[in-house]
Amino acid sequence: MSIYLRVEVAPHDGKQAEFEETAKALVAGTADEPGTLSYRVFSDASGSYTFIEEYVDAAASAAHGKNSRELLGQLATVASISRVDVYGGPGDDVDKIAKVFPNATAHAQVV
């Protein structure tokens, strides 16, 4: 099974351009990252953003966090995370991954 993360983010007032620049750098950095299957950013009309991430396993998700520590730190200065959903199958440690984030919910696959 793979691990999916859905992360809702809202840029701080006046920081949208900086947020988008940092988000682009995060996406570019995952292109050659082992274990990262997909890392995309979407936006709705209100200017909020959603990261959709897929990793081969919990270790790959953790490696992404370590590899992207600097950029994720920059992101935290220009935006706030409003919600995180972590999805995975049995044995994927979704509870463990969710505990890393504020406002996170773990979703274990049942079927």
The full set of domain ranges for the chain reads 3-108
pLDDT digits (tens, 9 = 90+) for 63-89: 999 999 999 999 999 999 999 999 998
The domain defined by 3-108 folds into: Alpha-Beta Plaits (3.30.70)
pLDDT (tens digit, 9 = 90+) per residue, 4-42? 999 999 999 999 999 999 999 999 999 999 999 999 999
Instruction: Count Cβ neighbours within 10 Å for each residue of 49-87 and write b for 16 or more, e otherwise.
Output: bbbebbbebbebbbbbeebbeebeebbeebbebeebbbb
